[in-house]
Structure 1
Amino acid sequence: MTDERFFEEYELGSTRRTTGRTITEGDIVLHAGQTGDFFPHHMDAAWCATQEFKQRIAHGTLVFSVGIGLTASTINPRAMSYGYDRLRFVKPVFIGDTIYSRVEITDRRPHPKRAGHGIVVETVTVTNQRDETVLVCDHLHLVERRVPLAAADNR
């Protein structure tokens, strides 16, 4: 699906919510293999039974990847991901938890060096099936402007 928007068309405060995705043991094993992170917190059920949470925990980077992937429902040919800021793993995610992502446009600002683009910030909040926040971050997008700023306006 395409959602072609220029920088000026993003509205502060607008929100959207994704469908859910259940985290499985297979997700954790595959992610460990892809990243090399075989720490016992993710892989050793017997050891985890002796720890605070009593069960294996999904990798934070797995939760981040799936949570952001859930938001990738439309393509805007005038925008691209510019990075992530303020990423926090708030609560653990366990095998069998279902996660959802909520996205809110929280900032729009000029790009410091590109008069033809601006930066749109989406705050992404990932929650579990109990509506508890498990991850939060700011996703920055580089978005083409309909009308480029004059060089003096972009300082």
Structure 2
Amino acid sequence: MFIEKYFEDFIVDESRTTIGRTITESDIVIHAGQTGDFYPHHMDAEWCKTQPFGQRIAHGTLTFAIAVGMTAGEINSRAMTYGYEKLRFPAPVFIGDTLRVCVHISEKKDHPRRPGYGVVTEQLEVVNQRNECVMATQHLLLVEKRQPENVNSV
């Protein structure tokens, strides 16, 4: 669905939570193939049994990609991703974990070099089925401002 949500339309402290998505072994295998990251932490079940977590863990980049995709429900023609900051993985993601993403608008500010745009910061927190945080980051959106109408026009 397409929407037009301008900078002025974003509300600080507004929040939403996505539906769940369960991580599968296929997710991990496909991601390893796409990225070339075949480290044993993700691929070798027997070796992982000897490690602190005792089982394979999902790639951080897989968790990130899935989480970002889960937040992309509406297509806003007035905004685009400007970047991500402070990406952290405080807990592992295992095969069979179900993830949800909590999105919280934490800040709005003018863009320092683009007068017609502002920057909206979304705090993303990814939680598993036990409500443990497995990933956190700040998603920065470059968002178009409404242009003031020309008051001198007839």
Is this a same-fold pair by TM over 0.5? yes
Q: Which moved more, 1:2-11 or 1:50-59?
A: 2-11
Letter of the 1:53 partner, please give it: F
Write out the 4+ residue segments of structure 1 that deviate beyond 3 Å after TM superposition. Answer: none
The equivalent of 2:122 in structure 1 is: 122
| In structure 1, C-alpha distance between the alignment counterparts of 2:76 and 2:97, rounded to whole Å | 30
Gaps of 5+ in 1: 149-155
Q: What's the offset of the Cα at 1:3? A: 2.9
| In structure 2, C-alpha distance between the alignment counterparts of 1:136 and 1:2, rounded to whole Å | 27
SS in 2 for 1:92: coil
The equivalent of 1:82 in structure 2 is: 82
Letter of the 1:141 partner, please give it: L
Q: Answer yes or no: is 1:44 the counterpart of 2:44.
A: yes
| In structure 2, C-alpha distance between the alignment counterparts of 1:90 and 1:74, rounded to whole Å | 28
Letter of the 1:129 partner, please give it: Q
Q: What's the offset of the Cα at 1:2? A: 2.5
Q: 1:2-54 CA deviation, whole Å, 9 max, x = no partner?
A: 23111011100000000011000000000000111100000000000000011
| In structure 1, C-alpha distance between the alignment counterparts of 2:123 and 2:147, rounded to whole Å | 25
Give me the TM-score of the superposition, normalised by structure 1: 0.93
| In structure 2, C-alpha distance between the alignment counterparts of 1:79 and 1:40, rounded to whole Å | 39
The equivalent of 2:152 in structure 1 is: none
| In structure 2, C-alpha distance between the alignment counterparts of 1:84 and 1:66, rounded to whole Å | 15
Q: Answer yes or no: is 1:60 the counterpart of 2:65.
A: no
Letter of the 2:136 partner, please give it: V
Letter of the 2:108 partner, please give it: R
Give me the TM-score of the superposition, normalised by structure 2: 0.94
Q: Answer yes or no: is 1:91 the counterpart of 2:91.
A: yes
SS in 2 for 1:123: strand
**Percent of aligned positions with the same letter in both sequences?**
58
SS in 1 for 2:54: coil
Q: 1:68-112 CA deviation, whole Å, 9 max, x = no partner?
A: 110001011000011100100110000000000000000101111
Letter of the 1:121 partner, please give it: T
| In structure 2, C-alpha distance between the alignment counterparts of 1:102 and 1:89, rounded to whole Å | 15
Report the aligned-residue RMSD: 0.9
Letter of the 2:26 partner, please give it: G
Q: What's the offset of the Cα at 1:147? A: 3.2
The equivalent of 2:71 in structure 1 is: 71
| In structure 1, C-alpha distance between the alignment counterparts of 2:147 and 2:118, rounded to whole Å | 11
| In structure 2, C-alpha distance between the alignment counterparts of 1:100 and 1:39, rounded to whole Å | 26
